Structure 1
Amino acid sequence: MRIRRRDRRPCSRAKGTKLREEQCRPTMGGFCMKGDVIQIEGDKWVTRGQAATSIDAREEELLVGREKEKAMFERFLNGEPTSKHIWNLYGTGGVGKSTMLDAFRRQAKKHNAVFLLLDSRECGRTGDELCRELLLQLSPGPEKGSGHNKPLNAVHHRLNRLVQKQRVIIALDTFEEMTGLEVWLREQFLRDLDPNILVLLAGRHPLKGTWLLSPAWRERVLWLAVHHLTREDVLNYARKCGLTEEAFGERLWERTRGHGLSMSLAVSTELLEGSGPLHDAGWSSELASLWLKEVPDEELRQLVEAASLLRHFNQEMLAHVVEREISANAFGQLTALSFVRKIDRGWRLHDLMRESTQSQMRERVPRQFGKLRERCASYFASIIRASDDRRSVAWAVEELFCFIGDALIRAHLNTPWKKEYMWEPLTVINLGEGLQYLQQRRNEARSITRQGVDPVTGSLLELTLSKEEMLYSIEGLDLEELLDLGQQSVMLMKSPDGSVQGLSAIIPINRGTLDYLEQNPFSGPYIRSLLPAERKKLGVPESEQAGWFIKSIDILEWTDSAALMEGASQMYHYMCAGKLFFASPPPLPMFYDSHLGLGFEALPDVFHCCYDGKTPTPTFVLDTRGEKLDAFLAAMLRRIGIQLEPTEGTSEKNEQEDVLLQFRLTEREKEVALCVIEGCTNSEIAKRLYISLITVKKHLGSVYAKLQVRNRSQFIKAVLSKEGR
């Protein structure tokens, strides 16, 4: 990666320097003329060769990542034969496509190859204009004696002769802007072009249509997705730019997640220290403006703004938030944008786009921003209240707290690019891995500082923990003792490579664990404070749970936001499960505030001093048994000004069940139908009802047939219309 600084200044006569009085035109290196290229570096005039050498050398020094693509291009330059003579570089705006083309240009220069680069926004709107631009780059004028008057014939003649002597590359940047010329390019320009000429088409979207459907074109195209840079690339880029502090590199990774333009803007802001055109948060607006160029009309922009408040969305969810129907065509336009990607639960805006769009909305239309947030929160609260299986809606609990949690919680949940981790129960077989993890935590403990951005206020929150405080979360954690309980209390969090990256110790409350919990120094004070009748309620059979006690949720690398969010997500499976949930976390402000933010009640009279032997540590309790769940949700929603009656969810579900009875659904069909109404995917329905995915689809087909509908959207509309009568 690199920082671009291009000064385009009119050429003028300098004392002692002979300049040709001819028209200038812009190129990659600055202003060039038919003779010398003159640029200013410091207070000196330098010629084209000098300027290109110094700029290209520095650009190459600052380039990070892209080794695979550069190696592939190097093989082409070295003469390796290829049947793929059209390379399609695609990726979201600002990810680094133009930077990669620049790197290819420098490689081509070293091999004395011809590299012709055109920006599709600037090369004209007709095929003739594009050909003239190519001819202009090839030489000052048409080749004498070529006998070709038409630009297309002339450029074919020149290029097809040139490739006999050296490598030739034609690169078209921002290819999405060439919609009117795409057919001409494919059917007229490329058909008669020598196949040894490499054509690079760089744009936001992958080539589709005829490029895919025609076997002849498909076998000639190589699709190359331009991905974000890795964490190591980002840290390396920061160091190369002179920002050697480890904290800044980590912060750069957290804020940009390897998005090229974001990295350049953030580093520029830091280096200019307020003397330049950007301030600390201003670069995100520059980014949003770049992406919003894809959005052609106001209606679509409103959908983008609403979608930016959701970590994932689908058509029904978005319709609820904007309070109007969304056509399939409009939703299709939204999901086709380059900064929107498909995920398991629907679609998601690029994380940086979400952050920058929210930031703009907060400042531009604060009331509308607040209203949309309320609609989002009410949607997820309704999903939770309508569910019989509370633990199956952990995802909705997590989404809800993106809107009603305190600033620290929102900042953590605002983390982009969630990684895939696997949770594995602790057993005799993997006990050694768990013990090794704890030893590694003790050996590698160090003080840390991490930051997060609150999406509601835009505030940058900083948290610092000492080495000693970093070990609090595993204090008194005895894995062998917990394994002997036989209650599957401990889960190991593993990365895709199988290494343990964290763990959770959440102990069920029942007949088999009550005595242990009463004697444990961390949970005992609360259990002993209960009245006999209250304690008796907790003595359910060992196969059941009256609730849970959180002993520990710990991760290996606390500066990794994705891992931190994954660890915290363990709590959401229990919070709205209609049971008793209590914890006694380390006596630190972050834990105290975050538990209050999650709706726990602090019991200051129930405490211990087990973490450091001197600091009183309170117990936090969250009770959602019976009607307390509605009261809990209502209280949490009141934080953002939403009033929700405690009985609303129950009556709504009863109405839905009454509607479904009219269609003579079987009991299993009714269960599947209610899951669909709650917004569950087919996979989630299968897990909840303990049936196969095929069986879910079979029941859905039967439900749709009985209601005479064709899809989920029509089914929801049919149920809602019957409810309203």
Structure 2
Amino acid sequence: MRSETGKGLTWGHSLADWEERLLVGRGRETDEFRAFLRGANDLGGARMLNVTGAAGMGKTRLLAAWRTIAEAEGACWLRADAGERATAEDWLPALLRALDAALPQDGEACLPAERRSEGSDSLMERAIEKLVKLCGEQPNGETVLLAIDSYEAGGALDRWLREKMFSRLPMRLLVAAASRQPIRLFAREPGWSRLLKTLALSGLSAEDVRRYAGRLELGEELGERLWLASRGHPLTMALAAESALRHGEAGSSVAGAADLLEQAVRGWLAELPNEEAREGLLHAALMRSFQRESLSATMGRPLGWEAFDRLTGSWATERASCGWTVQPQLKEALRALYKRTAPLQYEEARGRAAAYALEALRDRGSAGATGRSGEAMSDLLYYAEHPILRAHYRAVESSAYRWVPLEDRLLPLADAYLARRREGAAPQSVACADPASASLFRYSLSSEESVLRLADIGAEELRDERAVRKLLLTETGEAAGLAVIWPISPATEDLLRRNPYAASYMASKTPGALDALYRGKSAFIRTIDVADLSDEGLRHASFRLLLDCLYVYETLAASPPPLTFYADSHRSVGFEAVDGAGHPAYGSRHGMADVYELRLAGEHFARYASRMIGLPAERVASSPAAALAVASGSFALPAPQEPLTEREREVALLLAEGRTLADIAGTVFVSVVTVKKHVGAIYRKYGVANRAQFMGVLLQRT
């Protein structure tokens, strides 16, 4: 809070100061509002700012913050909320009352709507007259800003205002409207696409929630638990924090927050227009990103274009690099609700989504297969069950950092990064949480430990063109990370055998195993270092590079520093320690360092995918394309040697999806024993002996 005292300061100043401090995670929106105000006199600029978001996302709080900004810059602020199912006749008297307060010299009291006999056109004329007068009375031509909360509640009010009233407003008058759904424009309104700017509110990040807890002096652990319970939902976070402040019961306040969040999620679903849209949103929340085809596969049936358009046009979704995605915090809350209320359906849908993600990886190593780089591996590992992986992965799903090849012109930047990291070594701490399992993970690194990933990395290694060398850059072009990855090949064998961090791995391989590494695409990760592991964006950037490596290479090896953070990180992605390959290269004080290996070639990849995403091995080995075809209704079973009965055909289609016998029994409402009889008949009619052979028949004919 402000420390200065003296005349002119009021309780209102203190309140405003606290409101400003506790508004976290809305820097972009406040910057956009300031730019909106600055463009008030620009004829081609936006005249209406529409902030949208689900209930409890902080729209009303943001309007209050905007008021403080507007008044600090000399603007006049009017507030006239739309209210529940408002019409023009309901809303215009509220506007007139706000204008009467702003123009007290008029001396005209505005009566409630029910006591008026005037129609909307008459009310509108008087409102416009007063708005023009108010704009004319502003000193130095300052802006007048009309704020309308609950704007979507009016429905037809929006069309009426934009068609009849807003076009007649003075240029110095701007409108800020808060609504759950974004204002929908029609093709015949091209001009409005220039006058209207939409800001979609997303949930708060884990760091935002920690910052909020810190400003209330609630402590680090409660900050983490607030994040777990609220998943970044601002209202849930604020209510839980207030309960903890009042009663000092951190645990019960967080438990209560989870209940509040579930109530909010149910309310969000109820706002969607129909059951198909609600079902679509629940299934979209299971996916990293989605398009209509992938969402249909996850749902197990085709999703109509109209429902898809409604879903992607709602406040709940936003554009992603590969289609659309559900807002991150809403996504976690929807997943939790779906899993708790319909666990069997949830697992079936998650399995279908994971099977679809496998399609992008089924032909690993084929021509053009690396076009999407780590994106395809990201899609697959999104369904991983490891809580530490989920905690690292989902804290930040994108970042402003980018990896670039370490070209000669960037070598001075890399040298400077090495020097800066070593000279400025400082303790680092990592805190991350997995909402799905309500798990907290904390790691601490000393100053010395924070730079161990750069041990013995020097100018010579950075300039060896046999290595894959990358530099992580910020948006301003500064170095924030460094990576060196050595391909394993006859050309690098001698170097790797002499390198103290890789030598034990090379020595652990028989000549036959080395030949296999040379024939495939293999690499040893010497380092993937970022400047500050406590920065979630930097951690995410290092994780994304690792995913790129998982996609490109068939065998990966690494020997990170012998610290719990690195061990947990590598194991969570699927690396396994190589027996007998430990070494003391990081120094006797740190103990023996393990060497980790991850094999992804051929049958190893099927086992890896099954282990990571929790699907039965036979389902991983089956064709995701066949499962998609079944889900979309386009799949046709190949002709058997003898005709199938209707029930046998139904069971065969479920087998093609990769369902277990118990799943099939529950779907067709018969016993597992009966399903086994049907499966035996199906195998006999297709001339196969087991499920693997049956799937082989499908693969050959799909």
TM-score (norm 2): 0.73
1:643 paired to 2:620? no
Aligned to 1:327: 304
- Candidates 378, 393, 406, aligned match of 2:386: 406
Aligned to 2:447: 467
Report the Cα offset of residue 548 of structure 1: 0.4
Rate the CA distance shift 1:607–1:190 in 2: closer, same or farther, 3 A.
closer
Structure 1 stretch 107-116 or stretch 188-197: which is displaced more? Answer: 107-116
Partners of 1:590 and 1:311 lie apart in 2 by 25
**Contact 2:626–2:698, Cα closer than 8 Å, also in 1:** no
Partners of 2:550 and 2:186 lie apart in 1 by 51
- Structure 1 residue runs of 5 or longer lacking an equivalent are 2-48, 660-719
Aligned to 2:644: none
Partners of 2:229 and 2:497 lie apart in 1 by 44
Aligned to 2:495: 516
Partners of 1:191 and 1:567 lie apart in 2 by 51
TM-superposition CA deviations, 1:406-438 (whole Å, max 9, x none): 211111111234114332222433222112212
- Candidates 331, 339, 347, aligned match of 1:362: 339
- Structure 2 residue runs of 5 or longer lacking an equivalent are 2-8, 101-107, 139-143, 630-634, 636-696
- Candidates 365, 368, 375, aligned match of 1:395: 375
TM-superposition CA deviations, 1:166-208 (whole Å, max 9, x none): 3555322222222222232233344555665544333345544
Report the Cα offset of residue 342 of structure 1: 1.1
- Candidates 455, 469, 477, aligned match of 1:490: 469
**Contact 1:493–1:503, Cα closer than 8 Å, also in 2:** yes
Output aligned runs, 1:126-165, within 5 Å: 126-137=87-98, 138=100, 140-141=109-110, 149-150=118-119, 152-154=121-123, 156-157=125-126, 159-161=128-130, 163-164=132-133
**Contact 1:503–1:567, Cα closer than 8 Å, also in 2:** no
Partners of 1:120 and 1:245 lie apart in 2 by 40
Output aligned runs, 1:422-437, within 5 Å: 422-437=402-417
Secondary structure, counterpart of 1:164 in structure 2: helix
Aligned to 1:183: 159
Report the Cα offset of residue 239 of structure 1: 8.5
Partners of 2:469 and 2:450 lie apart in 1 by 20
Partners of 1:454 and 1:539 lie apart in 2 by 38
Partners of 1:117 and 1:172 lie apart in 2 by 6
Secondary structure, counterpart of 1:562 in structure 2: helix
Tell me which amino acid in the other structure corresponds to 1:202: A
**Contact 1:425–1:491, Cα closer than 8 Å, also in 2:** yes
Secondary structure, counterpart of 1:471 in structure 2: helix
- Candidates 577, 597, 604, aligned match of 2:572: 597
1:450 paired to 2:443? no
Aligned to 1:501: 480
**Contact 2:241–2:253, Cα closer than 8 Å, also in 1:** no
**Contact 1:602–1:621, Cα closer than 8 Å, also in 2:** yes
Q: CA RMSD in A?
A: 4.4
1:548 paired to 2:523? yes
Rate the CA distance shift 1:368–1:312 in 2: closer, same or farther, 3 A.
same
Secondary structure, counterpart of 2:383 in structure 1: helix
Partners of 2:699 and 2:407 lie apart in 1 by 51
Report the Cα offset of residue 448 of structure 1: 3.0
Tell me which amino acid in the other structure corresponds to 1:182: D
Partners of 1:236 and 1:628 lie apart in 2 by 40
Partners of 1:395 and 1:73 lie apart in 2 by 36
1:386 paired to 2:363? yes
Rate the CA distance shift 1:101–1:603 in 2: closer, same or farther, 3 A.
closer
Partners of 2:518 and 2:207 lie apart in 1 by 54
Secondary structure, counterpart of 1:372 in structure 2: helix
Partners of 1:651 and 1:342 lie apart in 2 by 25
Report the Cα offset of residue 496 of structure 1: 2.0
Tell me which amino acid in the other structure corresponds to 1:491: K
Tell me which amino acid in the other structure corresponds to 1:583: A
**Contact 1:583–1:621, Cα closer than 8 Å, also in 2:** yes
TM-superposition CA deviations, 1:488-512 (whole Å, max 9, x none): 4221111221111112211001121
Partners of 1:265 and 1:343 lie apart in 2 by 31
Tell me which amino acid in the other structure corresponds to 2:601: R
1:225 paired to 2:187? no
Report the Cα offset of residue 346 of structure 1: 0.7
Tell me which amino acid in the other structure corresponds to 1:450: V
Aligned to 1:9: none
Aligned to 2:671: none
Aligned to 1:534: 513
Aligned to 1:271: 245
- Candidates 71, 96, 99, aligned match of 2:61: 99
Rate the CA distance shift 1:269–1:460 in 2: closer, same or farther, 3 A.
farther
Report the Cα offset of residue 354 of structure 1: 0.8
**Contact 1:426–1:488, Cα closer than 8 Å, also in 2:** no
Rate the CA distance shift 1:184–1:74 in 2: closer, same or farther, 3 A.
closer
Report the Cα offset of residue 118 of structure 1: 2.9
Rate the CA distance shift 1:466–1:270 in 2: closer, same or farther, 3 A.
farther
Partners of 1:343 and 1:260 lie apart in 2 by 23
Aligned to 2:559: 584
Partners of 1:493 and 1:231 lie apart in 2 by 23
**Contact 1:118–1:173, Cα closer than 8 Å, also in 2:** yes
User: Which protein has greater RCO, CA pairs closer than 8 Å, 6+ apart?
Assistant: 2
Aligned to 1:620: 596
Output aligned runs, 1:268-347, within 5 Å: 268=242, 271-272=245-246, 273-274=248-249, 279=255, 281-282=258-259, 284-285=261-262, 288-289=265-266, 291-347=268-324
Partners of 2:10 and 2:376 lie apart in 1 by 60
Tell me which amino acid in the other structure corresponds to 1:597: S
Tell me which amino acid in the other structure corresponds to 2:49: N
Report the Cα offset of residue 353 of structure 1: 0.6
Partners of 1:404 and 1:584 lie apart in 2 by 23
**Contact 1:321–1:376, Cα closer than 8 Å, also in 2:** yes
TM-superposition CA deviations, 1:522-558 (whole Å, max 9, x none): 1101212222333345556xxxx64100111111121
Partners of 1:206 and 1:562 lie apart in 2 by 29
Report the Cα offset of residue 82 of structure 1: 6.3
Partners of 1:582 and 1:627 lie apart in 2 by 18
Rate the CA distance shift 1:458–1:375 in 2: closer, same or farther, 3 A.
farther
Tell me which amino acid in the other structure corresponds to 1:551: R
What is the count of residue pairs matched by the alignment? Answer: 600
Partners of 2:404 and 2:73 lie apart in 1 by 53
Partners of 1:303 and 1:325 lie apart in 2 by 10
TM-score (norm 1): 0.71
- Candidates 334, 350, 375, aligned match of 2:352: 375
TM-superposition CA deviations, 1:19-49 (whole Å, max 9, x none): xxxxxxxxxxxxxxxxxxxxxxxxxxxxxx9
Tell me which amino acid in the other structure corresponds to 1:88: L
Partners of 1:63 and 1:412 lie apart in 2 by 25
Q: Relative to total residues, which structure has the larger helix share, 1 or 2?
A: 2
- Candidates 611, 629, 632, aligned match of 2:605: 629
Partners of 2:46 and 2:567 lie apart in 1 by 60
**Contact 2:204–2:234, Cα closer than 8 Å, also in 1:** no
TM-superposition CA deviations, 1:78-99 (whole Å, max 9, x none): x968676942222333554423
Secondary structure, counterpart of 2:448 in structure 1: helix
TM-superposition CA deviations, 1:341-400 (whole Å, max 9, x none): 112201011111111112222332233333322222222233312344364453222222
Output aligned runs, 1:703-714, within 5 Å: none
Partners of 1:274 and 1:154 lie apart in 2 by 52
